[in-house]
Structure 1
Amino acid sequence: MNFSVHFDDATVDRLNKAVERAGVTRNRLISMAVQEWLARNEEKDWPETLLAHFRNPAPELAQDTLDFQAWREHLGGPAEPRW
């Protein structure tokens, strides 16, 4: 998808210098910046099955109780000691 973005002169000068340093096109640099911003700022949420489990005030009474052990693989191994 193509669209136009308008920048003030100072931002364009900074962008042009960044392009020279990075060795990429302006469009590529802008695309990379937007992708990075989205990766850091998009709302991250838990899976719907986990959200539904915690919305239920008495999850142990639900017919399909959530298996927490199934999520263990996503936690990774134990953290290394810091000392």
Structure 2
Amino acid sequence: MTYIGMQLQLIGEANPLMSSIWELSPYLFLCCKIALSIFLFILAANFKTKHVKTWRMILAIPLLLYVSIFAVHLTWITYAL
């Protein structure tokens, strides 16, 4: 949703690092977003330690942030169109 919103110039990227990547290439930006999301999901699903529940909860926080940002961007784009 971030990629679509930015392509349509409806939203901006608040993260300075991702904003810099966007300026280099929108496709690189999209690949980074997808790769980070997949990495986080794989890490959370396959994390092996004796404190699995604690780490899964810690890793759930960024995952919930991603989902929340996705929902906000979807809402903004829906209302803008």
Q: Same fold (TM over 0.5)?
A: no
Report which of the two has the higher share of helix. Answer: 2
The one of the two structures with greater contact order (alpha-carbon pairs below 8 A, sep at least 6) is: 2
TM-score (structure 2 length as normaliser): 0.32
